[in-house]
Chains A and B, each alone.
Chain A
Amino acid sequence: MALPKTSQKFNASINAFTIGTGDQTVTLGGENVLPFYTFDAPIENAPKIGVEISDRGMENNVPGIRDYYAGAEDFRELARRASAIPGVDFVAFSLDAADPNGEDRSVEECAEECRQVAEGTDLPLVIIGSKGIEKNEVLFDRIADALAGRNVLLMSAKEENYKTIAASAGLAYNQKIGAESAVDINLAKQLNVVISQMGVKPTSIAMNVGAAAAGYGFEYVVSTMERVKMAALSQNDNMLQMPIVTPVASEAWNVKEALVSEEDIPEWGPMEERGIEMEIVTAAACLASGSNAVILRHPASIAAISEMIRELV
């Protein structure tokens, strides 16, 4: 008896989206099948992995991360070490200290740090903005200028601040824009529409459709990603064909499972291992649901996820 023919090779495809310059570029998307469905059609650009480093340095991390960066004196060295981790495709610099409700580091300082990171690595760059929605407008403007010509991805523009960010970083400096929405396909589409209407090319936009750690409302992440991919591929919705970039590290390392010490709950075992597995399980599920790239922190998680991608694509 013949096998049922159920191939899901679609006529539409996800946009090919490139960051970086010269021979150090990374391209996300381009596929016309569901995640890892290489048996339906070849996937030219395998999902990619970014390594997250923070403007606070890496000392406030578990030993496996802290030790890896130990002795790094400046952001150049931090970036150089980050890009040397096997399996890393791009470096994501997170401006945690810029948070206006926290340290509120100045825009000039942040721009200078970004410049140093760019000097430390040739890999493509992603800049993860602060928690301050208004501050990011100025921050991204200055950083887009400081990193002119590097073709970086700025994450993220939201409903409240996309206008300034699209106009300056997107149009004036020709950088790539990350459009961030919170686990809702309609909001994701709406944001892509309005950013495009400002003149930013759809192929210059990537999406962060929302992230969560496994166990923390992750069903919304799965369903949003699956619906976005279905609409993009089966209905050829070109306002949802942007590739998805998911910052996993900031979610995975901030839940109880990764933060509670072994002394507090001895049966849970070593804290570092819990954080690594949380990062791996969350990243694998994101990739299976539709992420074209994940941003991770621990070298061990990066090793595992890059092996998984190699095995599957």
Chain B
Amino acid sequence: MALKGLDIFKLTPKTNCKKCGVPTCMAFSMKVAQGSLPLEKCPFITDEVKDQLSEATAPPMKTIKVGEHSLGGETVLERHEKTFVSKTLYAMKVSAAFDDAKNDDILAKVPAVDYDRIGERMYCEFVFVEAADGENNRFLDLVKKAAALDRDLILSCTDPNLAKEALALCTGKNVILIGANAGNYEAMNAAANTAKVVLGVSGQSLEELHDTVASLEKIGNKNLILNTTGASVKDAFRNTVEVRRGALKGGDRTFGYPSLVDVAALSHGDAHMEAAYASLFTAKYGSIVVLTEMDYAKALPLYGLRQNIFTDPQKPMKVDPGIYPLNGADENSICMITVDFALTYFIVSGEIERSGVPVNLLISDAGGYSVLTAWAAGKFSASSIAKFIADYNIEDKIKNRILVLPGKVAVLKGEVQEKLPNWQVLVGTNEAVEIIRFLKDMQN
């Protein structure tokens, strides 16, 4: 939220002393508001006022850092308005309330999903360790086991002394301690401060959550995460939306923190419900989503969804240029060329895979644009195609000399043929859905 010059003027001494180098306090205020002068240039601005001002100019939702991960910092409610900045992160949950076999099984599965999708590492970022009544030793034991994994930790317990013990087992780890509530927040705050970790806050109701966050802010902790999980899915959804909307639309900084939703608790051990709710809270405002298991069946659609939703609308998703051999293609298989726009790649490669025909899919560097856009921008032209063939030594790597162009750039055929005289240049289909038929016809 931009601060107006007049608001700043009210905080200056209004003496026009010129010590800041500007003739009047009003002119100085205007320059500060524009950002051309720092507030510190005025020797009469007290620290208190500085805090007040930095508060007023602060973004509506804080960015909370946990290790290399960023949470929050969002400025809009819908991605098309600008962009979402911090993607949803996922946690796998173990609990002192689960039996040992189940916990061991989950912990063993944590490292299983770890892969790359269009340049992004897809893995479960956190292990969530939950305490249970009368199971302190088992909880501490679980913390030890979880800390041994190469993942950041979320510790969930409401007993400040137990929290201290657990945190002591996590030296060198990036940790979020959740469990602060209206009754224990001072002691939990002390535990989190000592260990220098992010503190997670819960409340029986939105009002209670709001009050507890306000109290924690008053005693100086602004390194928080809000547990918006409710008693039901309906409550959790309401809490998560109201917290985000309150911060971004209502201008309420007390709610301006990332959220955590324990989907595992809401789905009562049903893997399909976990997938449904994880999708819901990835689409709507969950900063951390906790599941009992992130296997490939869940990961493939969820990480794909996340990558889509959190992509920057101004920056197209790109795949790396190069040769992609499909259906066991080798040097004798035909070549089909297209652009590096990720969506184009996915759709075209999917159709080719379904045809079962071995094809070397050539992805050229076209700035991440779609075929027609890249063509219009001069990034997918006869010269760029010829340059790609040369730069990537295609003629050395592939013996087949059939090159299929996307149907939408049929106009390029003559020119490409001229630049690549050794090749037989063909025009493919306008739409990807026609590729299967095209390839089958070609075989006959």
Could you tell me which A residues sit within 8 Å of B by CB distance? 1, 3-6, 8, 36-39, 101, 131, 213-219, 222-223, 226-227, 230, 254-257, 259, 267-270, 273-274, 276-278, 280-285, 287-289, 300-301, 303-305, 307-308, 311-312
Q: How far is the CA of A269 from the CA of B294 in the complex (A)?
A: 12
Contact between B238 and A222, CB atoms less than 8 A apart: no
Q: Specify which chain A residues have a CB less than 8 angstroms from the CB of B346 in the assembled complex.
A: 215-217
Q: Which of B272, B353, B437 is close to A101, meaning CB atoms less than 8 Å apart?
A: B437
Contact between A215 and B80, CB atoms less than 8 A apart: no
Task: Give a binary string over B422-444; 1 marks a CB under 8 Å from any A CB, 0 the rest.
Answer: 00000000000110010000000
Q: How far is the CA of A256 from the CA of B112 in the complex (A)?
A: 20
The size of the chain B interface, using a CB distance under 8 A, is 61
11 additional contacts (CB under 8 A) given A216-B304, A218-B305, A273-B297: A1-B254, A3-B252, A4-B249, A213-B304, A214-B305, A216-B308, A217-B308, A268-B297, A282-B279, A284-B275, A312-B233
Q: Which of A131, A268, A304 is close to B275, meaning CB atoms less than 8 Å apart?
A: A304
Q: How far is the CA of A300 from the CA of B254 in the complex (A)?
A: 41
Q: Which of A227, A254, A277, A301 is close to B298, meaning CB atoms less than 8 Å apart?
A: A277
**B339 CB to nearest chain A CB (Å):** 14
Q: Which of A219, A255, A278, A284 is close to B276, meaning CB atoms less than 8 Å apart?
A: A284
Could you tell me which B residues sit within 8 Å of A by CB distance? 78-80, 112, 117, 206-207, 210-211, 214, 232-234, 237-238, 241-242, 245-246, 249-252, 254-255, 270, 272-273, 275-280, 282-284, 295-298, 300-305, 307-309, 311, 313, 343, 346-347, 350, 353-354, 433-434, 437
Q: Which of B80, B249, B280 is close to A226, meaning CB atoms less than 8 Å apart?
A: B80
Contact between B301 and A257, CB atoms less than 8 A apart: yes
**B302 CB to nearest chain A CB (Å):** 6
Task: Report if A3-B246 is in contact (Cβ < 8 Å); known contacts: A215-B308, A227-B80.
Answer: yes
**A153 CB to nearest chain B CB (Å):** 23
Contact between B302 and A38, CB atoms less than 8 A apart: no
Q: How far is the CA of A36 from the CA of B214 in the complex (A)?
A: 28
Residue of B whose beta carbon sits closest to that of A273? B297
**B403 CB to nearest chain A CB (Å):** 24
Q: How far is the CA of A275 from the CA of B284 in the complex (A)?
A: 23
Contact between B437 and A268, CB atoms less than 8 A apart: no
Contact between B343 and A217, CB atoms less than 8 A apart: yes
Q: How far is the CA of A213 from the CA of B206 in the complex (A)?
A: 34
Q: How far is the CA of A162 from the CA of B15 in the complex (A)?
A: 72
> What's the A-B contact tally at a CB cutoff of 8 Å?
170
Residue of A whose beta carbon sits closest to that of B351? A254
Q: Specify which chain B residues have a CB less than 8 angstroms from the CB of A283 in the assembled complex.
A: 276
**A123 CB to nearest chain B CB (Å):** 23
Contact between A289 and B250, CB atoms less than 8 A apart: no
Task: Report if A281-B276 is in contact (Cβ < 8 Å); known contacts: A214-B302, A219-B313.
Answer: yes
Contact between A276 and B279, CB atoms less than 8 A apart: no
Which 3 A/B pairs are nearest by Cβ-Cβ distance? A215-B304, A4-B250, A281-B301
Q: Which of B273, B283, B296 is close to A222, meaning CB atoms less than 8 Å apart?
A: B283
Contact between B313 and A300, CB atoms less than 8 A apart: no
Q: Specify which chain A residues have a CB less than 8 angstroms from the CB of B347 in the assembled complex.
A: 216
Residue of B whose beta carbon sits closest to that of A219? B308
Residue of B whose beta carbon sits closest to that of A276? B272
Contact between B214 and A1, CB atoms less than 8 A apart: yes
Contact between A308 and B276, CB atoms less than 8 A apart: yes
Q: Which of B211, B233, B279, B295 is close to A269, meaning CB atoms less than 8 Å apart?
A: B295
Most buried by A among B112, B272, B280: B272
20 A–B contacts from the bound complex (CB under 8 Å): A3-B207, A4-B249, A6-B246, A215-B117, A215-B308, A216-B346, A217-B346, A219-B79, A222-B79, A226-B79, A227-B80, A254-B350, A256-B350, A259-B354, A277-B300, A282-B305, A284-B283, A287-B280, A305-B276, A312-B237
Q: Specify which chain B residues have a CB less than 8 angstroms from the CB of A37 in the assembled complex.
A: 241
Q: How far is the CA of A308 from the CA of B283 in the complex (A)?
A: 14
Q: How far is the CA of A216 from the CA of B250 in the complex (A)?
A: 34
Contact between B279 and A267, CB atoms less than 8 A apart: no
Task: Report if A215-B250 is in contact (Cβ < 8 Å); known contacts: A4-B255, A281-B279, A304-B273.
Answer: no
Q: Which of B79, B251, B277, B300 is close to A308, meaning CB atoms less than 8 Å apart?
A: B277
Residue of B whose beta carbon sits closest to that of A36? B237
Contact between A131 and B272, CB atoms less than 8 A apart: no
Q: How far is the CA of A144 from the CA of B140 in the complex (A)?
A: 67
Q: Specify which chain A residues have a CB less than 8 angstroms from the CB of B300 in the assembled complex.
A: 215, 257, 268, 274, 277-278
